[in-house]
Structure 1
């Protein structure tokens, strides 16, 4: 069922869409994410999209941000460095592509009230990972050999499911996985996570295109463009502000925002 807001004239929401996208993009840019975790509660709470519509819109926005973030980061992390780690990318993709397809199919079959609750619980989980899993490891992989490959496929599958259910890039889960499981440094892990996220999101997006809720993109083109423009501007600003706010202040504050958002989504009517 289409939400009332998605039928309303988009022009009335464009400034708010741009502004909201810019604020969320700045938050994401500060910690190396696309901000989708924060954008989803905004789509549901402020703009009153139904759960599945919000996930699809968020997925479209995540694709835009990830596709632009890779070249933005190339000056710091060259494409050659990313390409040199293709075995890690393929290892995670082996699980994440299947997880993305499964997660999208699951989301389209869930009742709206159940999907709201799944989203809320995952926002809580991401808040916990944000605080506990964002620090860099000691550079040593957690596993090696076959055990590492199996763990990479399993982790990729879980991340693919989460990515599709929330419409996010999955960076907040991918980055700790790359640091802890493969021993990647934090900057390289950020770019590797984008390389894994992009095809993973495309698979989930393709699966969602088979559902009637996918039409929300066509009904809200202007809104989507305004949100995309704001998100990209905000991500650029957030990246410029990186380093001005210490992680021991920023990360707990963002985690609190996610917990509040989870509470609101859980009780969404």
Structure 2
């Protein structure tokens, strides 16, 4: 399968150039993908960002070099750290001990192995979807900057919802919700920092916007629309992983450069029967 081969080729390139400055444009080209799509898919399948994978691999190899007798300062520079202090801090965060302590007999270290991609055909659950063509439209709501690093977005996004419910923003938005309902919009992905903007929004309204609210344009796109059944956010997270690890590789679709949209009808989001939709912009 071309997709599988391309993703593994990208990992091999990363490994062959692990000491070099990371070039996301080159890696994503090898993966036959855009930088946005490659990083998004990589994160959803593996649970870590590309940058985090590289960091862990470098520190795994650094530990081996230290055990072989290389000077710590040389190892630090070899793996891209500007100072021995910054290297020591990163080393301790992964391994739990300092580079010096790693040389002691019996020291316990962590190893993060090289990844490879394989397709697992499960077939235990159907993935029903529909393809929808939708023109450009505007949304209004509240926005916050998030990061995918360390899967922090899986914590930050729910907290943003809870905060908006607590301060009354969610109630105001539900009172203005249009046909689609209340939307969660992930957009403006930064290919260098793993950060993106997340909006809790509704389709554009004519009323003046209160302080702290913004307007944004969603571009025209082709959307793959999936239904999620179950409590939010757990059911959505599981669906996202399946879309990137199962549906996209098996259908030949890939992520297009437009926002992801969660469509939330008014209802009890914690219910095991709650139904919402996930809109993924796609292209063949």
TM-score normalised over the length of structure 2:
0.24
Higher relative contact order, chain-length normalized (CA < 8 Å, sep 6+): 1
Determine which structure has the larger helix proportion and give its number.
1
TM-score normalised over the length of structure 1:
0.26
Determine which structure has the larger strand proportion and give its number.
2
Higher-Rg structure is: 2
